[in-house]
Structure formats: C-alpha cells, structure tokens
Amino acid sequence: MKRIFYTCLGIILLFSLLLTSCAKETPTQSTAAEKPTASTPAPTLQPKYGGTLKMVLDFTPAPTLGWPPDYSGPATRVSQLCVESLLRSDFKGNTYPWLAESYTLAEDLKSVTLKLRKNVKFHDGTDFTAQAVKWNLDNQMAAKKAPYWTSVEIVDEYTIRINFSEWKNALIFELSDTSEGLGYMVSPTAFQKNGIDWMRQNPIGTGPFKFISFNKDVGFKTVKNQDYWIKGKPYLDGVEMTIIVDPSTRAAFVKAGGVDVVNTNTSKLAADLADMGFILKLTTNGTWNLMPDTNNPDSPWAKQKVREAAEYAIDREGIAKGLGWGFWQAPYQIPARGSAIYESDFSLSRKYNPERAKQLLAEAGYPDGFKTYINCYSAGLNKDAATAVQSYFIKVGLQAELDFPELAKYATYQKSGWQNGVLFAPLLTYGNFNEGIINYGPVSPLYPSWQRPPDFTSAFNASLISKTPDVKLIRLVTDTITKNALIIPIHETGGGYAVASYVMNMGWGERGMSAFLNWEDTWLNK
C-alpha cells in the first residue's frame, strides 16, 4: 500500500514539474509589433472627460522627481505628468515652444531669448515668471549641467535670455523635454519652503497633473490639474502608475485586467501584451553596441582589421531573429531605425562571414585568435545577446570572457578606461543625435580607452556647430565610426508602451523620446 502511495506521489510530482518547468514558448510574431509607420487617419472622435488611467511600470523611478538638475530617464518618464519644459521636441529633433511662447536665436548664435507664456501657474499657485525660470536655469548651471552657458538674464517679467560661450546646435534641444533636459520648471517657492530633499520626492511643476504621492516600489499617483494653462485640458481625472519589477508578477497583474498602459521594451513581454490585445506603441530608439579599447596601443582591438573581423564574426541577423521577438532587425549602423539620420540604403554593412573574420584576424597577426573580455552594461542588458556574441567570437578564435560588473564598477570603466576588451552597452538615438553621442566627443572625459581619430573628431565638431542639426554632417560622424569599426552595433533596442485600445491620443511617437507622451491630450474612450 505504501509503495503504491509513494509511486503515485512521485508520478504526480514529476508530472507537475514537467508541466510547470519544461514548457517552452516560442517567439510569436505579433502583427502589432511592426516598425511604427504613420497611422491611417481614424474617424475623428470627440475626447471624453473622466477616468483615471492606470499604468504599470517595470522600474522604480529614481527619487529625483521634482529636482530637474538630477533628472534621468526613469525619473522624467514619471515626472513629465507634473513637470513641463520650456520647449518640446519631436522625433526628428525639431524643437517647438511649450512653456516658452516663442524663442529667438541671436544672429551671432551666442544667446537665445525666450518669451514665456503668461497666466501659467505652478501647482502651489505661484506664478510662472522670468524669475522662476532664471532660478531653475541657474540651478542647472550650478549643477554643471550646462557647460556652454555663461549666464541667464531676466529681460522683463516674461522674457529671459540665456547667453552661451560658444554655439552647439544641441543647446536649444537641451531646453526641451529630454531625459536630462535643462528646461524643466519647478516651483522655487516650494523649494524655499520645503528644501531640496522634499522637492526630490515631490514634483511641483506646471503640468496637466498634480502630484499626490510617490511610494518607492509601490507607485505614483496624480490628479487632474484643474488650473492647467491649456483650457479644457487635461481630459483624464488622474494617472496612477503601479511599479511591478518582477516580470512574472507584472504579467499576471496585467493579464488580470484593469490596466490601461504597460511600459515595455522590445521583448517577450511586448509580444505577450500584443497577444493579450494591447496595441504596441514601440520605437527602436537605439542600438546595443560593442566599444573596443581602440586607444590602447597594446590592445589587439587597436587594429582595424581585428575590429572588422569581430563584425564579420557576429551573425546579427540570427541574433535579431532569435532574440528580437519580431521587433528587431539586424543593425549595421548606429542610428536607430526610423530616426532622421538612419540610412535606408546603408552600404558599409559587414554582414556575417566567419571565414572573412578568420582571414582578417590572420592578417592582423592573430591567426589563433586572442583572449579578450566583454564588459556588459547591466541595466537593460539582454544576457542572451551577450552570450551569443561570446559564442560567435569563440567560433573564430576570440576567447571572449563575459563580465557583468555592477553599475558602479562599470562606471569606473567609463571614467577610467578598460583593457583588452569591449564594452557592451546601448547608444540611444536622441532627436538631436549630437545630444546622444556627446559623451563620445573629443572633449568628453568619458571612455578614455576609446580612440577619437582625426576624421571622427573633425566630423563630430562640424556636426555640433551647424546652426541646426545637419543630417549630412551627423551621418558623416556615424559613417566614420562604422567605416573604422570604432563601434560595432549588435542588436536594436527599443521601448515604449502597450496600450489598451480605448486609450486615445497619447501622442506616442510625436515627442523626442518614445517615453514622452502628450498627457494633456490623452483620454479614455470608454
């Protein structure tokens, strides 16, 4: 009897293990997950007022919600509900006025004058004036976020002038709502009353929603700003964001219903969300790349043939197909697909050719390969992609060891350099591409192990000082990088939102980065 019992128990356990552990899911192609294109015009619907939009985040925002000098991507994704910027930018890097009514660049490009909107109030009831703007901009200068600004002047109560030491075409773009934009406005009165630590947790801006609460690891709540400066908006009663970091928990919570928007990247989760009926609003916003230590003369990576060999060694088509869940295409250039500087007829592609890779390595003096390291940036890393790169390298003789340092340790590579290896990290394509690659510029203190050859430096400097971003000049920069194999793109990266069908007018794709939405226009068609 006991034997029968234990046998049955064993079978049950084995069966349940098989059921829960061994089921493999294959990537599903999602028709909603295609490259974003211009949407066909839908019949015009009248916006409806009411409803609280419920959103799920897969990250905890940095606690800098109300202090713009400390802003970063995760913080602004949340604080944009409450804090607005002087300008806004679109996906192509064009800027347009927002809290500023207009802006005028001086003829000599040494200053910009901004006329501010009147009758705008901060959430604490204080006025949005030139004094408030100067206070905010001075804080950015004090935090050394604006190295090319010399001073900020008040011209009159609603006019401000920023003076520059020299012109860079990213200077105007920086005043728009990017992840680390300099033009965000918060209430000086709230700061004087409560101090900086309070401000970090309480974004008191001019936005369409007023801050209610932020609990780390729990969520962020806002309520409609009844005194918003755009009359008749916003339409929503509020926006609530729930933070769920664990992917299984997040998937279950979303499946249970009651969620209107889920922030996601181009991954299996996005494919699952599409299967659940969400509409995917995703953009490819950059590439994950290998950055070799080209500035170390003793490193094999200093030789161009070695770098080209590495490119030929990697099957990027295979990586895109196997890991991209239908969202990726193989990248052979650094700019994100869909951006203004992406070249659809790019001719410098070094496609997968392991024999060519071995030949180049032999020509470079490494017929048996060499030992090297792949130091991976861990935030947002797809470890399978890193492992794939390692395996491709090993096949051509590059004995690559993977390293997944903590962010703090990775930061030392960025600041102090790395030896005999590559960094594996993302490079995002901002609307103004120069803004995205400023850290790779000739005067940047970052990446000392990365060489800036003369042709790159001259192309980079020329692209920076054009009056407006010049696609041709920027392409010269990216083409120089690709021609010299200074950075090797491996796979695309992207992100955005999965949106329920009744969520209208989020403005996805209209702003500079995929994470920025027109919250004042959003409404629920239910």
> Which residues form the interface with another protein (CB under 8 A)?
1-2, 5-6, 9, 13, 20, 62-64, 70-74, 144, 179-180, 196-197, 200-201, 215-218, 242-246, 248-249, 252-253, 255-256, 406-412, 439, 444-446
Nearest-angstrom CA–CA distance, 20 and 396: 38
User: Largest alpha-carbon pair distance within the chain?
Assistant: 96
Phi and psi torsions of 314, nearest 5°: -100, 130
Instruction: Kindly list the distances between the CA atom of residue 163 and the CA atoms of 149, 159, 400, 438, in Å, as whole numbers in the listed order.
Output: 6, 13, 49, 20
The nearer residue to another protein, 114 or 437, going by C-beta atoms, is 437
Task: Output 18 or 155, the one with its CB closest to another protein.
Answer: 18
Measured CA to CA, the distance from residue 403 to residue 165 in angstroms comes to 41
Q: Within a 10 A sphere around the Cβ of 12, how many other Cβ atoms?
A: 10
d(CA 288, CA 17): 36
CA-closest candidate to residue 338, choices 175, 496, 477, 170: 496
Closest distance to another protein from the beta carbon of 63 (Å):
4
Half-sphere exposure for 435 (CA within 13 Å, toward CB): 29
Amino acid residing at 307:
R
Q: Which is nearer to another protein, 33 or 254 (CB)?
A: 254
CA distance 339 to 322: 24
Residue 73 or 453: the one with the smaller Cβ distance to another protein is 73
By C-beta, is 426 or 507 nearer to another protein?
A: 426
- Computed on alpha carbons and rounded to an integer, the radius of gyration of the chain in Å comes to 25
Q: Of the two residues 129 and 139, which places its CB atom closer to another protein in the complex?
A: 139
Residue number, 242 or 265, with CB nearest to another protein: 242
Q: Closest approach of Cβ 68 to another protein, in Å? A: 11
| Residues with Cβ within 8 Å of residue 198, at least 6 apart in sequence | 190
**Cross-strand bridge partners of residue 121:** 127
**Measured from the CB atom, is 128 or 447 closer to another protein?**
447
The identity of residue 415, as a single letter, is K
Rounded to a whole number of angstroms, the minimum distance from the CB of residue 408 to another protein is 4
**Measured between alpha carbons, how far is 18 from 475 in angstroms, rounded to an integer?**
52
Q: In what order do the strands lie in the sheet with 159-164?
A: 100-105, 111-116, 159-164, 149-156
Smallest distance, Å, CB 313 to another protein?
30
What sign for the dihedral angle of Cα 380, 80, 72, 173? positive
- Nearest CB to another protein, comparing residues 103 and 516: 516
Question: In sequence order, which residues have a C-beta less than 8 Å from that of residue 3 and are 6 or more positions away?
Answer: none
Residue 6 CB, nearest approach to another protein (Å): 8
| Of 428, 438, 449, the residue nearest 373 (C-alpha) | 449
Amino acid identity of 23?
A: A
Distance (Å, rounded) from C-alpha 418 to C-alpha 408?
14
If the CB atoms of residues 3 and 231 are measured against another protein, the closer one turns out to be: 3
Q: Which residues, 6+ apart, have CB-to-CB distance to 437 below 8 Å?
A: 427, 460, 477
Residue 88 phi/psi, 5-degree rounding, is -125, 165
- The nearest distance, CB 152 to another protein, in angstroms, is 20
Nearer to another protein, 63 or 97 (CB): 63
Considering the complex, what minimum distance in angstroms separates the CB of residue 201 from another protein?
Answer: 7
Direct distance between the N- and C-terminal alpha carbons of the chain, in angstroms, rounded to an integer:
61
Q: Which is closer to another protein, CB of 67 or CB of 135? A: 67
Instruction: Give CA–CA dist 16/20, Å, rounded.
Output: 6
Pairing of strands 100-105, 111-116: antiparallel
CB 380 to another protein: min, Å = 11
What is the nearest approach in angstroms of another protein to the Cβ of residue 136? 18
